[in-house]
Amino acid sequence: MVILRIRSCGSHAKLPRPELQPEHRRPRALSRGGGGGSGRRNAMNSRPAPLPRATPWRSLPCPRAELRLELVLCGGQTFRWTETSPGYWTGVLAGRVWTLTQSEEQLWYTLHEEEKEDSSREEDGLSEPPQKKGRKQAQPDGSHAGTSEPSESHLPGEASQGVDGLTPSQILQDYFQLHVNLSALYQGWSYVDSHFREVAIKFPGVRVLRQDPVECLFSFICTSNNHLSRITNMIQHLCQAFGRRLCQLDTKTYHAFPSLQAMAGADTEARLRDLGFGYRARFVSESARAVLKTLGGAAGLQQLRSVPYEQARHALCTLPGVGVKVADCVCLMALDKAEAVPVDTHIWQVAKRYYGQELGMGARSVTERVHREIGNFFRSLWGPYAGWAQAVLFCADLRKYQESADPDAKHRCVKVPRSSLSTLT
């Protein structure tokens, strides 16, 4: 492992101090003029030297009010990013390994180059398309060249479809759905919901990711009766055992999310059981087969993006291990159904505590009736992006659990007009 140091800080005393980063150095927080997209934004003096086997740091405009990586990447939406050093997040997206960080106004990213085919590695070996050899990678080498889009390389799709032919910048904009004006949504929700208003102050920048449907579906199949740390572990094992190895950084190896074919293998269930998946092993294996057989595979899954929410939800619920909660998660986080509100016991508690005791009364658990009532309630309160608002509350709740809770908050109650109740779809 190499430790690099950014040299020549020069005169810019105001810039964040470059620190030693074991592998992923930080980009300097440079502000690009006005987002003119004029290609070479920083003259050659200010950009850090490229990492070994990684593209130079680049950025796109994205104020922190619109995105908080630490909340979005670690808030229970995705399980594939780790904070490799403070403020730096490394993970796999669209079949490649990225490191992300952000400054006040920019989202910074670098791509790590894939290792040479080594074949000394455990892999799925199943009916995956033959390995592409010698990927032609637009390697920035030491040169100057544009930081602008035109020179960016295309990606061979892995588990992900629909990103082929997109530039890295476009992939990120799509993944984070940067076209959605989050601040405006926050304002609207705050206006109609005083509890949201309180929470939102402490948790800005929580947006819903637009994830790959296959990855999202199978990740959330693993979440039943489970908690975050173990889920993360399981997903990592799943990728390691069934996904193509991409590269190694420090001591961590990164793998693509497995293809449906890889997960549909005959020995999948047994292997996953060995990996500690428990009864979920069968769900993963069976669902992979079912998606291939009855939903048109990965492409069919992806096409659910363009059908109505109820229809997509219903299709997902036919899969083993997929109930309404998991289906709603996938609808919201991969299938463009912003109105989908996943209701778990946490959200149920929140709903009862802050939004009225009549929600899901009489039930001892989150039954389908409770799910429907609470979903409809929040849709009527928050509107067509209700799922996004729910993500904010959920994230806040998670955080509260980990860190020192605001003990006060648990006892505050917020009044909500009763008229909001009982509307239905």
Partner DNA sequence: GACAAACCTGC
Partner DNA sequence: CAGGTTTGT
Smallest separation, CB 243 to DNA (Å):
21
CA dihedral 251, 256, 261, 263 (to 10 degrees): 50
Smallest separation, CB 89 to DNA (Å):
17
Nearest by Cα to 48 from 56, 40, 39 = 56
Beginning with the edge strand found earlier in the chain, give each strand of the sheet holding 96-102 in spatial order: 58-61, 106-112, 96-102, 88-93, 81-85
357 makes contact with DNA (CB under 7 A): no
Task: Using CB under 7 A, pick the residue from 73, 319, 351, 416 that binds DNA.
Answer: 319
Task: Using CB under 7 A, pick the residue from 7, 227, 411, 418 that binds DNA.
Answer: 227
Nearest by Cα to 304 from 271, 337, 350 = 337
Residues 278-297 within binding reach of DNA (CB under 7 A): 278-279, 282
323 makes contact with DNA (CB under 7 A): yes
Query: In this structure, are residues 246 and 114 in contact, taking their beta carbons and an 8 Å threshold?
Result: yes
Q: Which is nearer to DNA, 223 or 420 (CB)?
A: 223
Q: How far is CA 266 from CA 159, 284, 289, in A?
A: 20, 12, 10
| Three-state DSSP state, 92 | strand
Smallest separation, CB 169 to DNA (Å):
29
3-11, 96-104, 296-304, 362-370 -> range binding DNA (CB under 7 A):
362-370
Residues 363-402 within binding reach of DNA (CB under 7 A): 363-370, 394, 398
351 makes contact with DNA (CB under 7 A): no
4-12, 139-147, 183-191, 320-328 -> range binding DNA (CB under 7 A):
320-328
**How many Cα atoms are found within 13 Å in the side-chain-facing hemisphere of 373?**
19
| Spatial distance between the Cα atoms of 192 and 206, rounded to a whole number of angstroms | 18
| Spatial distance between the Cα atoms of 159 and 202, rounded to a whole number of angstroms | 35
422 makes contact with DNA (CB under 7 A): no
Query: Of 132, 136, 252, 325, which one is the catalytic site residue?
Result: 325
Q: 53: left (phi > 0), else alpha (psi -120 to 50), else beta?
A: left
Smallest separation, CB 372 to DNA (Å):
8
Here the tokens at position 413 are 């109650």
| Spatial distance between the Cα atoms of 321 and 88, rounded to a whole number of angstroms | 34
Site string for DNA, 228-267 (x = CB under 7 A): xxx-------------------------------------
47-55, 196-204, 276-284, 407-415 -> range binding DNA (CB under 7 A):
276-284
55-63, 143-151, 192-200, 344-352 -> range binding DNA (CB under 7 A):
344-352
Task: Using CB under 7 A, pick the residue from 171, 182, 327, 341 that binds DNA.
Answer: 327
Q: Which is nearer to DNA, 172 or 221 (CB)?
A: 221
83 makes contact with DNA (CB under 7 A): no
| Spatial distance between the Cα atoms of 341 and 386, rounded to a whole number of angstroms | 6
Active site residue 415: no
| Three-state DSSP state, 249 | strand
312 makes contact with DNA (CB under 7 A): no
Task: Using CB under 7 A, pick the residue from 197, 273, 305, 353 that binds DNA.
Answer: 273
Query: In this structure, are residues 44 and 54 in contact, taking their beta carbons and an 8 Å threshold?
Result: no
116 makes contact with DNA (CB under 7 A): no
Query: In this structure, are residues 106 and 60 in contact, taking their beta carbons and an 8 Å threshold?
Result: yes
CA dihedral 392, 396, 399, 401 (to 10 degrees): -130
Q: Which residues bind DNA (CB under 7 A)?
A: 76, 223-230, 273, 276, 278-279, 282, 317, 319-327, 343-346, 362-370, 394, 398
Q: Which residues are marked as active site?
A: 325
